[in-house]
Structure 1
């Protein structure tokens, strides 16, 4: 009976048009958000900001999203609300306009806070849509959703090099077009989401759902708790290291290697583009070889590159940065899917919690790292962060997931 149920799950249809739609919106959303970090070199000069203030800008946006995302996810588990999908992008649109016109540091904080609210609405609810559209390919579905965001984030440095260096922060107004497109696509996704929720569930869905959660059903409550704690530490190691690169790597290149602002952005783009590529490969590999194996390889496997990066010459540093981005990026989408399987039935809460953690730790990391850089130097801070991926060794203590056995 169990084999028959697993076969039923394995043939569940994956709704690729919806997955691609939310991936495109993720691309547009994160492109708009990446304008914040893309403007850092411009704002630092024009408004005479310190590294600590730069970190606080990232902190304000990310912590807003961090606090609100678990609440949005928990609320969607209780009562899904498809219409909030386009509403979330409206907040992002308001933040984009505010950022383009902000005359001072305080106004910038208000603008990025609005963008944080938009992300808090978008990520957990869209991750829930990805889960519903995944069929039996949850790792692939989450990777398709995530890769859009990573591509969007990678466009920030290009915007600095091509656009903001020449026309300044007012150029952010062009991204109102992206916001309008995202709102239209989210309206389409919301209709599908609403229709999916209105469909009656087949009588066997409960048994199939139980068969699909063999990981959770084989573990005690205490083991699930400690597995979640380990996943939180892994998210910490990944996203604080990521924030050291996305917020400060360009300053490190400018200060220690003497490259121009425009040139430094292409190095950051290479890191983020590699991250997008790694995200796409991580999900299918996890579906095939198991979540724990790829999580372990992704985070700990980054350590050789991250440790070598600050001790290399300019060319080798760039190569190490690209390798670190590719290897490290595959972890997050798999961590989300793994946590969803640990807590079946709480997809929104888990998605909101881990996206919230990612934003919160990234924002907190940016603020703390900015203060450390002010007190010491950018080079010291980069060398200190290089060892964070070593925390990936904790993945060894995660319970083995049973995806490969269930697929047999």
Structure 2
């Protein structure tokens, strides 16, 4: 029996386990939404320059995203269920201390700690989600991933409310969900699915040579996710600037557009998983990428109430394939599930920050409108790449 088949000995989706993992994902990703809201307050309190504040964001991005494949490789070599509660609590400890420390170097250290917590949780949780999903892999993965989307949104809202009352020391209250999550994982530890005999034990061979065609397909998938992340991050950062500074829209109205986009992403995650299981992962990815081309063109030229409607639909479409790409990556690397998960949920998505930097440089030199035109046309490249992805490697039930 192959490793791929051994990992999927049950066809039943274990919804309670997936909800537990999704809740842990929510708690862990509170930091991703809360830290950007907390950072301006810390900047003022510690009298940091914009460059120094930018380094704080960079440290969190590197530790939480770029390091995920390395931690995924580690989780592939050992049984590491303890990374689930550890990752959640470290993410919250780092965030809690970020508002309390009064030294810049200590601030960088605790932000790095929070990022490491996030990077530790994601590959292992993605691996366990796969085990708990049965044959409905993309549906199960979507249940897991939606927790992260909600966590980032809730983290920003809760931190904003707490800051009004407790200033930067409000961060300490984020210890509470971290502690609760550790207790939940301790209580339900024996309910988590285990790898069948020989899978991801201490002696599994994770040095299996990856065929050239698989490496090519994996590279295409990673680049596709990077482009998708650039588009998503670009919409979040530059569309508000364009609407406020160039179209003269009210900032409150623009804020409602951003919230609409984030909520649509959570809905799209839940809808996209079952659709991919039903119609095929590649079909789902190609179709959703193709839809982005007319949607972004309509978004750029829409007026009245249409921007909110189109942005909501765009948010659903662009995030709907996140679970799909994670499952596709895991299927390409069945002997390295943790590495695949880290590449898809960490490295590739984290590279979206690089895209924002590039678009920002273009906006500085040639104007925001030029940056938005590039953003609008980027789905064409993503669509072309999606056509080169292999057909689904596992038959759908």
TM-score (ref. length: structure 2): 0.83
Q: Does 1:345 align with 2:343?
A: no
Q: Please name the residue that 2:176 is paired with.
A: 177
Report if the CA contact (8 A) 2:13-2:135 is conserved. Answer: yes
Cα shift at 1:33:
1.8
Cα shift at 1:108:
5.1
Distance 1:318 1:108 in 2: 37
Q: Please name the residue that 2:29 is paired with.
A: 30
Distance 1:299 1:176 in 2: 39
Q: Please name the residue that 1:399 is paired with.
A: 390
Q: Please name the residue that 1:68 is paired with.
A: 67
Q: Please name the residue that 2:194 is paired with.
A: 196
Report if the CA contact (8 A) 1:84-1:121 is conserved. Answer: yes
Distance 2:16 2:374 in 1: 43
Q: Does 1:237 align with 2:227?
A: yes
Cα shift at 1:331:
1.4
Report if the CA contact (8 A) 1:340-1:351 is conserved. Answer: yes
Cα shift at 1:130:
0.3
**Greater relative contact order (Cα 8 A, min sep 6): structure 1 or 2?**
1
Q: Please name the residue that 2:263 is paired with.
A: 273
**Cα distance 1:362–1:225, how it changes in 2: closer, same or farther (>3 A)?**
same
Cα shift at 1:175:
2.0
Distance 2:160 2:247 in 1: 18
Q: Please name the residue that 1:101 is paired with.
A: 100
Q: Does 1:145 align with 2:144?
A: yes
Q: Please name the residue that 2:291 is paired with.
A: 301
Alignment equivalent of 2:355, drawn from 365, 378, 382: 365
Q: Does 1:384 align with 2:382?
A: no
Report if the CA contact (8 A) 1:155-1:269 is conserved. Answer: no
Cα shift at 1:100:
2.1
Distance 1:312 1:12 in 2: 45
Distance 1:42 1:376 in 2: 31
**How many aligned residue pairs are there?**
383
Report if the CA contact (8 A) 2:67-2:347 is conserved. Answer: no
Q: Please name the residue that 1:84 is paired with.
A: 83
Report if the CA contact (8 A) 2:227-2:352 is conserved. Answer: no
**Cα distance 1:110–1:18, how it changes in 2: closer, same or farther (>3 A)?**
same
Q: Please name the residue that 2:123 is paired with.
A: 124
Q: Please name the residue that 1:215 is paired with.
A: none
Report if the CA contact (8 A) 2:89-2:175 is conserved. Answer: no
Report if the CA contact (8 A) 1:143-1:280 is conserved. Answer: yes
Structure with higher helix content: 1
Cα shift at 1:247:
4.1
Report if the CA contact (8 A) 2:28-2:92 is conserved. Answer: no
**Cα distance 1:150–1:384, how it changes in 2: closer, same or farther (>3 A)?**
same
Cα shift at 1:184:
2.2
Distance 1:264 1:383 in 2: 19
Cα shift at 1:22:
0.5
- Structure 1 stretches lacking a partner, 5+ long: 1-5, 203-219
Report if the CA contact (8 A) 2:38-2:99 is conserved. Answer: no
SS in 2 for 1:145: helix
Distance 2:99 2:302 in 1: 37
Cα shift at 1:189:
5.0
SS in 2 for 1:14: coil
Distance 1:54 1:48 in 2: 6
- Structure 2 stretches lacking a partner, 5+ long: 200-209
Distance 2:285 2:103 in 1: 41
TM-score (ref. length: structure 1): 0.81
Cα shift at 1:270:
0.9
**Cα distance 1:101–1:370, how it changes in 2: closer, same or farther (>3 A)?**
farther
